[in-house]
């Protein structure tokens, strides 16, 4: 066939292809427009503009121009960003039957992160593991962890008092040690216990994966089949390392648990409940429950550790910047708890101001400014716009928690906004409506996380004075409260000075060390 005829055939095929796509697209949209948003480049879409820093601020600005439902496209991937409390709650909470999926990116699969239900697509496996998790973390179940949480808090106070400069490390250590005790019945020996290293190394890969916001291979999946020496394929070595560390994060605690079981010292813990307290006592059933249960336990670190740590750092930063808030909370603690004991969970109902500080910490610099992305299962309509199936859905949680219509002076740390007549004001929108996500994917660890934060915040306020950090000349270093530019955010700089409030406080801190986890 002559070249001109070949070109003609190719052109005709292209036209046919285009017409077919157009017909399919029209039958899907039925004339409904996509939501508005900035125009992208041909083929690449919004790939370049979307990678600009602190996207929650950019989206909030774009909302002024385009409204609360924004649309972007990166290559062929549609992305919808919801920017108002009404839009977020209406679509992601009330219509969660279609908005609870999560996109399985190639990077999640290649790094072996598909075992955790936090990243799984909506479906039966996710449902099974989430139900298993919930049985042990619903509001009626978490009180049994109070002794571990109190012991963990005591250890934390002693570690902070001995070495206040290592606050981040202390937070991480105490949280991980508490989870190992609850989940596997393991008592870690001390900070040098190799289990802590395996978990921390495993978490580092997960962190980088989550914080990266996506790799080139997520948008060009064919790269996964090319050798790692080619440009754009260097990710493969890194992925292999993360995959192995991720496996050890679950395998090593399980191995220690198994050693205890084999030595007829089966510990009282969540994993034992999962494996041995069911009706089916066959070996196959135990093996399968151990596999699934171990994945669920691993999810506690990956989903719960950095989130709780970030909220606690925000609290410390706020206290160093707002001394009058701290003094007010300490006055309440002195009146309710006194100087002879540490605060307990039973004090919470009388510690309204401490509770308000916790709410304000989760609002002021919220941990996940854009939540954790969901995706739609089927084509849908929202706000008069067409939302394609498989769209990535992002909630601008930061914008909801900084909406000046709801929270006056949103950038100021002001716990008083939640209080009326000495009680928590039910008319003020609770930051918990946003901070823990939405619909069927809402954080199932929120009651446990809330209890952990409450007890540590109350105890820190009770025994410590938290103030700005000092330089080598003893002068205060001015810290600007800035959120780090990540999907999982934390204060960029949360350095502070932490000192016991007096001899009575020191006595409390160290006299309780005997109850500690390590
Ligand atoms: C300050 C503490 C915490 C914050 C701010 C927080 C926030 C969140 C958010 C925003 C999500 C995503 C929800 C969504 O997709 O809409 C989430 C999911 C999740 N969180 Fe938390 N979280 C915290 C603590 C915890 C703790 C302590 C645990 C474990 C005990 C935990 C376990 C999980 C799990 C398993 C998921 C995945 C749920 C799913 O995909 O079905 N979180 N969390």
ipTM tops 0.95: yes
Integer Cα distance of 113 and 403 in angstroms: 35
Would you state the structure tokens that stand for residue 482, as one six-digit string?
A: 């800035």
Integer Cα distance of 439 and 133 in angstroms: 17
Binding-site residue numbers for heme are 443
CB-side neighbour CA atoms (13 Å) of 104 = 14
Q: What is the full DSSP assignment across 129-181?
A: HHHHHHHHHSTTTGGGGHHHHHHHHHHHHHHHHH-GGGHHHHHHHHHHHHHII
The full set of domains in the chain, from first to last, is 29-511 (1.10.630.10)
CB-side neighbour CA atoms (13 Å) of 178 = 30
Contact residues of ligand 1, CB 6 A cut-off: 117-118, 130, 133, 137, 299-300, 303-304, 307-308, 311, 367-368, 371-372, 374, 435-438, 441-445, 448-449, 453
Instruction: Compute, in angstroms, the gap from residue 119 CA to the centroid of ligand 1.
Output: 11
User: Rounded to 5, what percent of the chain is helix, strand, coil?
Assistant: 55, 10, 35
Would you state the structure tokens that stand for residue 484, as one six-digit string?
A: 């780090």
Q: Which of 445, 447, 451, 490 to mutate to test the pocket of ligand 1 (most atoms within 8 A of CB)?
A: 445
Q: Say what the pTM is.
A: 0.94
> Nearest-5° angle of CA 139, CA 393, CA 240?
85
Would you state the structure tokens that stand for residue 197, as one six-digit string?
A: 């290293």
| pLDDT tens, per residue, the chain with 518 residues | 677 788 888 889 889 988 998 999 899 999 999 999 999 888 888 887 776 689 999 999 999 999 999 999 988 899 999 999 999 999 999 999 999 999 988 888 999 889 999 999 999 999 999 999 999 999 999 999 999 999 999 999 999 999 998 888 898 888 899 999 999 999 987 888 999 999 989 888 888 777 666 777 887 888 888 887 877 777 888 899 999 999 999 999 999 999 999 999 999 999 999 999 877 888 888 999 999 999 999 999 889 988 999 999 999 999 999 999 999 999 999 999 999 999 999 999 999 999 999 999 999 999 999 999 999 999 999 999 999 999 999 999 999 999 999 999 999 999 999 999 999 999 999 999 999 999 999 999 999 999 999 999 999 999 999 999 999 999 999 999 999 888 888 999 999 999 999 999 999 999 855 455 54
Looking at ligand 1, which atom is closest to the CA of residue 130? 41
Q: Which of 296, 440, 446 to mutate to test the pocket of ligand 1 (most atoms within 8 A of CB)?
A: 446
Would you state the structure tokens that stand for residue 38, as one six-digit string?
A: 């900035």
């Amino acid at each position: 066939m002559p070249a001109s005829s070949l070109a003609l055939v190719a052109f005709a095929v292209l036209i046919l292809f285009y017409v077919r796509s157009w017909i399919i697209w029209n039958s899907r949209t039925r004339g409904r427009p996509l939501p508005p948003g900035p125009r992208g480049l041909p083929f690449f879409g919004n790939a370049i503009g979307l990678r600009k820093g602190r996207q929650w601020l950019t989206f909030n600005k774009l909302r002024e121009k385009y409204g609360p439902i924004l649309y972007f496209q990166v290559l062929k991937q549609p992305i919808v960003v919801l920017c108002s409390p009404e839009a977020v709650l209406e679509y992601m909470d009330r219509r969660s039957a279609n908005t609870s999926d999560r996109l399985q990116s190639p990077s999640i699969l290649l790094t072996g992160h598909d075992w955790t239900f936090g990243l799984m697509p909506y479906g039966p496996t996710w449902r099974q593991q989430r139900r298993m998790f919930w049985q042990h973390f619903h509001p009626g179940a978490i009180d049994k962890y109070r002794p571990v949480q109190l012991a963990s808090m005591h250890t934390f106070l002693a570690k902070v008092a001995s070495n206040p400069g290592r606050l981040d490390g202390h937070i991480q250590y105490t949280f991980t040690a508490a989870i190992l005790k609850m989940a596997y019945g393991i008592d870690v020996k001390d900070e040098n216990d190799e289990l802590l290293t395996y978990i921390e190394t495993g978490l580092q890969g997960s962190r980088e994966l989550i914080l990266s916001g996506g790799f080139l291979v997520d948008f060009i999946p064919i790269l996964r089949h090319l050798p790692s020496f080619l440009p754009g394929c260097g990710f493969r070595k890194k992925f292999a390392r993360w995959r192995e560390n991720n496996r050890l994060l679950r395998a090593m605690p399980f191995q220690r648990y198994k050693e205890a079981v084999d030595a007829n010292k089966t510990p009282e813990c969540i994993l034992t409940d999962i494996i041995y307290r069911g009706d089916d006592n066959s070996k196959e059933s135990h093996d399968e429950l151990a596999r699934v249960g171990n994945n669920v336990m691993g999810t506690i670190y990956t989903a719960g550790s950095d989130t709780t740590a970030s909220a606690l750092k925000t609290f410390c930063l706020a206290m160093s910047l707002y001394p009058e808030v701290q003094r007010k909370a300490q006055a309440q603690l002195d009146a309710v708890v006194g100087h002879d004991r540490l605060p307990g969970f039973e004090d919470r109902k009388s510690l309204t101001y401490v509770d308000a500080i916790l709410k304000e910490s989760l609002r002021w610099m919220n941990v996940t400014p854009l939540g954790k992305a969901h995706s739609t299962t089927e084509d849908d309509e929202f706000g008069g716009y067409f939302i394609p199936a498989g769209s990535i859905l992002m909630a601008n949680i930061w914008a909801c928690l900084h909406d000046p219509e709801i929270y006056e002076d949103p950038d100021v740390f002001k716990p008083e906004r939640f209080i009326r007549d000495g009680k928590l004001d039910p008319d003020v929108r609770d930051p918990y409506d946003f901070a823990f996500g939405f619909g069927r994917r809402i954080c199932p660890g929120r009651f446990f996380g809330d209890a952990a934060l409450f007890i540590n915040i109350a105890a820190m306020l009770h025994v410590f004075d938290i103030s700005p950090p000092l330089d080598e000349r003893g002068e205060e270093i001015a810290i600007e409260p800035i959120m780090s530019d990540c999907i999982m955010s934390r204060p960029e700089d949360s350095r502070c000075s932490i000192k016991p409030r007096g001899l009575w406080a020191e006595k409390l801190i160290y006299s309780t060390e005997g109850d500690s986890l390590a």
